[in-house]
Structure 1
Amino acid sequence: MAANLHPEEELVSPPPPTNQKKATKEFVEQVNELRRSRNVGPLSWNTAIKFLMARKFDVTRAVSLYEQHEVTRHREGLVNLNPTSDPLRTELDTGKFTILPCRDETGAAIAVFTARLHDPRATTQQTTLQGVVYQLDAALESRETQRCGLVFIYDMSESAYQNFDYQLSQKILTLLKGGYPARLKKVLIVTAPLWFKAPFKVLRLFVREKLRDRVYTVSLPELVNHIPGKCLPRDLGGDLSVDHNAWLLRCQASMTNRDPSGVCEPVPPLTFQSGHNSTADSDNNSTTMVPTGDHDPTSSVEQLCEFSEDDVSCCEKSFSHDSNDEDDLEEGHVREDGRLSGLINTEAEDPINEEKRKDGEKDLSPSLKGECSPVPEIQDTAHLNGHVLHDTDHISGRGSPLAPPSSGSSGFSDDDSLHYDDGRGFTLEEFVRHLRDKGRQGLYHDYTQIKSRPPDGTFENSRKRWNQIKNRYTDVLCFDNSRVVLSAEDEECHTDYINANYVDGYKQKNAFISTQGPLPGTFGDFWRMIWEQRVCVIVMTTRAVERGRTKCGQYWPAEQDGVASHSHFTITNKHVYHYRDYTVSTLTMRDNGSSEERKVEHMQFTSWPDYGVPDSAMAMLEFLNHVRESQARLTAALGSSWSGHPLGPPIVVHCSAGIGRTGTFCTLDICIRRLEEVGTIEVKGTVEKIRSQRAYSIQMPDQYVFCHLALLEYALHNGKLVEVDLTGFEDDGSESD
């Protein structure tokens, strides 16, 4: 049930349970020692509880949070806030940031930043941050918010590029993840346009700390999957009526009634006199947010830490539902050697959460750092075609002697991938000159050279008599060395074949599975592959029927509430979302033997024309962006059950043959990821490497040209290029299937 926030709610932090008393004393002693060294009076008990609750009463982490909070508030000028005077008063009146009068189903408070209401030209970053912190301070006076944390919604609906301030976004997230005594439960970035680069950079930072599952980029319809509609305002598709002015009045009331030390004082100059125990130095007309204490400076630690039995019961309940939470979002951890490991320092070793190790939870840090991680709980292994095979009991619960290889089970590192920055790519300026010099006909010539090279591999399994019927086209076979091997359901291993190959992504081994459009006779094999490879997202780049020809069988229930059964799986379509250029179906896949269920999203691109290639790449680029978002969200939902690459299990991509549009999709994703990371493009080399894993990928010359022009369109749309002169590039084209 969502809990409403009432003005009469008691705004006092709950004391810790009796068994936390020692930790509280230790925290107060350490912090007060710091404060004495800075000539500041002792910290109040209520303020101590806020920091301890934010770090689950881990004293070392709570002290680190306290120090980082002081530094951040001082550095950003978040002190002595006066909401009755400009510029803060005007900033608050914009309503760009507010706390909703409702909580999510876990009891977390919900904060919303509306990007379209923000104009970086009309206000400073400091003033905007002050408006955010002023309201967060008021929200954090609630014991419920301290216990259950905060959900942060960054609403980009109807916003334009001029509304976006990347540095401000970084500062807000840096504050929340490590410089503020609140437990950030989730960040929801709503309706992020393609030019919005910050979410991806933020995700990379969070991945370093194994916290990527807390950041989601979602569409407006998907928001209700995270927060009930009754707790969302109407402009976010919900039913909630929001009165921002009423909230501001409550903030002002909480300022008057709150514990005077509700927010920690920032680092003061050393010239401060001791004994400033009720207010920080400020003008008399200012409403300060950072007083230092409401008690006698001589109060003992024991007096600060007295609890009642009711208080003990309350706080014990507050942590009972959080026992499985991830690490809290914080700027840095103190490691066992006493050094502070920061989130931004990507060269530093990832900190280890000792609590999780004691609980037997797997440490995911090796795969997150790009190293090979061990496969847990698997004893018997074998190797086939360079892949690790494991007992299927660990994957599907069935007793086949060997399970297929999976990017999730073998702990592939970034360095295993064929695609990386090898120093041979073009900068964007060089890429434009390359296209202008080559022209369309020159690219056709390059493609002819690629196509003329014979496949570097064998197709023995595809040509076996009992497997030939499983191939949609007699001349589109799959390499033996990269094929997906299904778990055998017979002793002769006649059931381990499917026309599908692993394809590497940019710095990601086995990022994709390129496969043909399933045939009616292979529907069961297809869904076995989805299950065994733990696939979350299926990408379909064709219609089932085009120009009167069947391109793919109807292997999934297309209608909402539709049900289909294949092999020993039942697939149910829970919801269908129709977009202009593609359709997304949310599927539930159930293993009838074990009754285990998993979520899979089927994403079908429907705007590829019957002839040729799209006139513009924007529809495909938007589709690709949505695929990435869905993959990130569903991978995060796997939690500790996923121990492979941080970007998740393979994405299954298919068209009809699994080489043309499929190869185009994979090429674009690889090239864009490389462009995002190192700023270079190498289409020809990318296509050659893809073809070494899935033979004949990029089937027609126009698809090869389309990849080049799509990357150019991506760069223009994202502001990486201002204008491009390709005079003379166009010439006679050719048809693409």
Structure 2
Amino acid sequence: MTGTLTTAEEQAVKDFMTSVNGIRLGHHVGPLSWNTAVKFMMARKFDLQRALLLYEAHEVVRHREGLASFDPTRDPLKSELDTGKFTVLPTRDKTGAAISVFTASKHFLENTSHQITLQGMVYQLDVALDSLETQRCGIVFIYNMTNSKYANFDYELSLKILNLLKGAYPARLKKVLILSAPIWFRAPFSILRLFVREKLRERIYMLGPAQLTLHVAPSALPQDLGGSLEVNQKAWLLHCLKSTTNRYSDLCDLASLSSSFPLVQNGVIFHPLENSHVQNGLFRNFLSEGENTDESSEQLHSAHEKHSSEDREKEVEVTKEKTTGNASRKATTVTHISTDREKHLNPAVPFTAGESIHDDDVEGMSLDEFIHHLQQKGRKGLYQEYTELKMKAMEGTFDAARLKSNQPKNRYSDVLCYDHSRVKISCLDGDPSSNYLNANFIDGYKQKNAFISTQGPLPKTFSHFWQMIWEQEVLVIVMTTRTIERSRAKCGQYWPKEEETYTDYGPFRIHNNDVDQHRDYTVTSLVVTHTWSGLCREVSHMQFTSWPDYGVPLSALEMLAFRDKVREQQAQSLLSLGSHWHGHALGPPIVVHCSAGIGRTGTFITLDISIQRLEATGQIDVQGTVEKIRSQRAYSIQTPDQYVFCHLALLEFALSRNLLKDVDLTGFDEADSESE
């Protein structure tokens, strides 16, 4: 294989191996083979940095989806392969690209899982990718929907396949050909394609049997697709088995590692498992580029979102469980204290007077009007709409944030908080400036101060953050960033990460009771102890990990599901308080933070308010909602793509709740803005 590469290409492969193998050897994992390194470099046209990001995304996604190791000779994978729903044809298109086919009518959700389906695909694709011609020429993916029914379609699986093939697999995806799509497929497809980057959208075709031959010659198509090719799935699977038996494989060797490992290149450190696929390019390939061309400070900091958390006080006395030989301490018994004592320990009264600024329902649009609005505006029109919002004059002052004593408490010098809506904590030692931290109250739908929007805490503000959590009686903290993204610190580690450990922050001891990890988010159960009084409260820390830096998720489904979990957790925690809570029926503020507390934070809050309005009234008003949020937390919704995401996410929500049967947004992207 070496002789087929140019000298420059060979050197690039060597540089790639140097970066990757130094880390692998440090973790007692064998070195990456030359052939495998070539695959990653070939897939990214020998661009070293892009290949490193692809390798990182590949390791993380295959670990997350359970694609690290599997046995094709045993069920359930053996039965999955025998269905023949996915195969790689023994032929190529006229450009030399390999041809793979997924037959939707053979896929039944109740008979398999996403993991097994993806395993069946990866197992065969790994063999196909052994060919240097496939590495150079790429893969054509045919999604055959002939005679398929709604029961055969899995929207989330479709997203995962696109995600894997375009952003986390060492192969070039040349085309996606969707064949004989039923009428009911139009709605989910209209939404699906809007979440992918323009470059990929141009490669997705929805066509009929007659049009298929314009892309692939009849001689290269199987008979059930109108071609003349005879396909023997059993022979192909036998070839796959022989190819993988006793073969040295170094793909996904690091997936089983529980700790993060850095990839180092030219002094730049990448942390694949710590930063996850979403921060280091996995989804970034789908997103608009150049969104930081605006010279305003808001656009220049689109990569520096901040996210803040707040926990409600659940006044408890905790009996520590003592076990012989075990020094760990775990909360086991909860007892509420009196209201008078509770007031004494919460001197900073929550900013709850008055009505929410999201109380009126007269200016919204119905779903039909909303769809018509998107059809008329298109992506370019929404970008312009966002620009007009951004250009409106500020509606408040930032005097406290600009005090010399408070400036070090701001993560970013140009992301400050309004005076009129800022969260104030109790002053320390009579110092009037000590009541400051970078956080603002945000109204929810018909709920005053439903949220606290704040920056990712700095080490010097950890104790201030937990004081806010305590005094504002927070139950749930929502974190939409990772502590490190793209080798940059986005937020301090303000809570103990490991189970059965605790950390002290000023007068507050934070104990990690439990960590519950999911694919897209992690829920950590914390007990906050006020050490001066001995009182404790339970707080849920919910960290969403599938949001890419510099953009928005590939689909809103994961974010919508996470938002549902946040609301469920808030309701459960509130229920446990019983008569001890006397505030709004939806409970105390939910703390939301990213890095700056304006981009991802503003997007999450916008979606929550919009969903509650839609469920209550059938009305949508994204523009008005964002405008009002920005009046309480300056710069909320940081990029035009986040603004567009809010609109598309509401369509996905409506589809998932069967509020819509069909969506036709043809032409939505025909006039994309210059930021793409």
- Taking structure 1 as the reference length, the TM-score comes to 0.45
- Taking structure 2 as the reference length, the TM-score comes to 0.49
Question: Which one scores higher on RCO, CA 8 angstroms, separation ≥ 6?
Answer: 2
Larger radius of gyration: 1
